[in-house]
Amino acid sequence: MVGDFIDLRSDTVTLPTPEMRRAMAEAPVGDDVYGDDPTVEKLEKLAAEILDKEAALFVPSGTFGNQLSLLTHTTSGDEVIVPARAHVLMHEVGAAAFISRVQLRPLEDPGGKMDPDEIRRTIRGDDIHFPRTSLIWLENAHSLGWAVPLEHIKEVRQIAMEHDLKVHMDGARIFNAAIALGVEACELAKYADSVMFCLSKGLCAPVGSMVVGDEMFIKRARKNRKLLGGAMRQVGVLAAAGIIALTRMVDRLVEDHEKARYLAEKLRTFQEIEVAWDRLDINMVFFRFRKVVDHETFVKYMFQNGVKINPPDDGEYRLVTHYWVEKGEIDSFVRILEKFLLEVR
């Protein structure tokens, strides 16, 4: 439960664990803009170590980390090749145009993968009419529920190398992807120049994301973070929760995946419901109703029965499992759903 609700809207609704709250209260802190916060230093070291990169930077949010990476990798007017349904394109308020002033070039992304030949064709040549391509964007796990396989990432790295481009990975849920693929997260990160990942989603930290990369990149990103107003002072109180997130909360993500599969299996028993079985790699279940359902009525009905869900996107619902949703609560959700389908039409 999150408060009095079964909250399936997102893993961003996760509350800090009691252990995090204790660590936050007791964290040694200092002014991180002066480099004086030992807890932030510890978190950044830990993040770099886990992802096997030279350096890391604590940032206020995933959006901040993505936009900061864009700003640090590109020059305004550049073109960035992105998966068509990537978060950076769909859900970051058009910030790429606003902050870095780059052009995002979307390529179809079935399975979370762009077609390598299409990437090659899309990279701009030397023509007076063309912008400069400078960056290829990856998202793993993809927000539509896919863990993108290592082979694809290697292939993109190869293309980037051939054309002297950088690769950024939006790894908001990189640990979910790694678990789904049965590889270490650092193995996924290896093929990207920079990776952003979130502490505040399935890992339950209240605030914060990390950007990792080589020392030069992080040094420049640190300055750009200041420019964007994201340098914080005694931020060790937040970093302390991040340390717990990375040391205690990563391996248990597999439970969230199991709960998602459990939920999907339950939904399978309803003939009125169609589950997107090809997008069940992580802690998300996507489904549609096979019959006409008034979406507003459904979401309200759920709310009145103690369940929070997001309205559908183009008729498709997304349910997200996390630390604060127990199996019994999934059973409760399914019972309420059953009641809805019987009572309402």
Ligand X SMILES: *Cc1c(COP(=O)(O)O)cnc(C)c1O
Q: Is 63 in the site for ligand X (CB under 6 A)?
A: yes
Q: How many residues bind ligand X (CB under 6 A)?
A: 13
Instruction: Tell which one of 62, 112, 145, 230 touches ligand X (CB under 6 A).
Output: 62
What is the residue-wise DSSP string for 297-328? HHHHHHHHTTEE-PPPBTTBEEEE--TT--HH
CA distance 87 to 221: 20
**CB under 8 Å to 110, separation ≥6 — which residues?**
none
Q: Is 211 in the site for ligand X (CB under 6 A)?
A: no
Residue 86: what are its φ and ψ, rounded to 5°? -70, 150
CA 46, 51, 54: angle at the middle one, nearest 5?
75
CA distance 125 to 107: 17
Q: Specify the residue, 61 or 103, whose C-beta has the smaller distance to ligand X.
A: 61
Q: Is 170 in the site for ligand X (CB under 6 A)?
A: yes
Instruction: Tell which one of 7, 139, 256, 329 touches ligand X (CB under 6 A).
Output: 139
Q: Is 321 in the site for ligand X (CB under 6 A)?
A: no
CA distance 181 to 112: 13
Instruction: Tell which one of 14, 17, 66, 176 touches ligand X (CB under 6 A).
Output: 66
CA distances from 9 to 172, 192, 311, 317, 329 (A): 16, 30, 9, 10, 14
Q: Contact region for ligand X (CB under 6 A) — 62-70, 129-137, 246-254, 293-301?
A: 62-70
Q: What is the dihedral of CA 10, 11, 14, 17, to 10 degrees?
A: 170
Q: Specify the residue, 62 or 236, whose C-beta has the smaller distance to ligand X.
A: 62
Place of tokens 């914060």: 208
CB of 312 to ligand X, least distance (A): 18
CB of 309 to ligand X, least distance (A): 17
Instruction: Tell which one of 67, 143, 283, 321 touches ligand X (CB under 6 A).
Output: 143
CA distance 323 to 83: 29
CB of 216 to ligand X, least distance (A): 24
**CB under 8 Å to 191, separation ≥6 — which residues?**
153, 154, 156, 157, 167, 169
Q: Is 145 in the site for ligand X (CB under 6 A)?
A: no
- Residue whose C-alpha is closest to residue 12's, from 208, 188, 275: 208
CB of 158 to ligand X, least distance (A): 23
Helix (H, G, I), strand (E, B) or coil at 79: strand
Taking residues 87 to 116 in sequence order and writing x for each that binds ligand X by CB under 6 A, - otherwise, the string is x-----------------------------
Taking residues 69 to 88 in sequence order and writing x for each that binds ligand X by CB under 6 A, - otherwise, the string is ------------------x-
* Binding footprint of ligand X on the chain (CB under 6 A): 12, 61-63, 66, 87, 139, 143, 170, 172, 198, 200, 209
